[in-house]
Structure 1
Amino acid sequence: MTLRERAWQWPLRLSSGTYVLDSGLSKRNADEETAKHLHGFAAGTYPFVSTIEPGQFVKLVSAGEIALGGALLAPFVPAKLAGLGLLGFGAGLLGLYWKTPGMRRPGSVFPSQEGVPLAKDVWLVGMGAALVLGDRGTSRTPAAPAVPDVVT
């Protein structure tokens, strides 16, 4: 695939990759209070998280976000692979939105005021899906079959 054929993916990769990388870097040296808050929030939605110590949990999240952000920004990482990572990460964040009480307006999929910051992560899911599905339409069109010469 030529650079021109891949150009559509770079706005998605740069914006999401920079955002995710910054988020991971900001958690690298999280204090104990921040670690407990993030851990408690995640454990409320994903019970298996409660088996991990808060400081270790935040280090794992930080490392995962740094790795994902780096993969999105690295041109040698295939778009589909980076997109799968972003799709999974975004889906996990939307799970927090969907399952945490008070994040949505009663009887609605739309966010409450408290849920807006998490609901906005739907853009990560959309970008990840675009990266996974996007290469399908950019492959080269096969050449038309040759027309045999007619000898008269």
Structure 2
Amino acid sequence: MSFIANAALRAIPGLFVLNSGIGKIGMPAEASAGIQQAAASGVPALAKLPADKFGSMLGWAETAVGAALLLPAVPNRVAGAGLATFGAGLLTMYFNNDNYTEEDGIRPSDEGISLAKDSWLVAIGLGLMFGGKNKKRKGGKN
């Protein structure tokens, strides 16, 4: 993968996820409970976590994913796995709420557009995981 492609796949979503995570750390209990309720629609086990602390816990997790993407020392496969897993978790909310999809259960409704876009996070994560390295061609040319 070229340096520019690698940087774009890591820096742009990394900054976005990092910013989102930092914004959730220390959020008010009411907002935290609202985020937890939405998240539990996709992953019911999340309802068992403390509602007043859920937003901060999610914020720290997002911050870790964003930081992993931004730190060059973290291998693409590791950073990509974190991003793909995070994005897949977000998509569970999308697919488990009938209001977010059209009747076919796939295409997003107007309400679901904001979550359907998280499929891009999964795609970027998979690209980082399986993108491989540049291989030199015969004769030393790339």
**TM-score, length-scaled by structure 1:** 0.85
The correspondence of residues 1-152 of structure 1 with structure 2, limited to 5 A, is 5-136=2-133, 138-141=134-137
**TM-score, length-scaled by structure 2:** 0.90
Compare CA radii of gyration and give the structure with the larger one. 1
User: What is the Cα deviation at residue 141 of structure 1?
Assistant: 4.7
What amino acid maps onto 1:97 in structure 2?
A: Y
Q: Which moved more, 1:100-109 or 1:71-80?
A: 100-109
Greater fraction of residues in helix: 2
What is the distance in 2 between the residues matched to 1:34 and 1:65? 16
Unmatched 5+ stretches in structure 1: 144-152
Q: Which moved more, 1:63-72 or 1:28-37?
A: 28-37
- Alpha-carbon RMSD: 1.8
Unmatched 5+ stretches in structure 2: none
Corresponding residue for 1:148? none
How many correspondences in the alignment? 140
Runs of 4+ off more than 6 Å: none
Instruction: Report % sequence identity.
Output: 34
What amino acid maps onto 1:83 in structure 2?
A: G
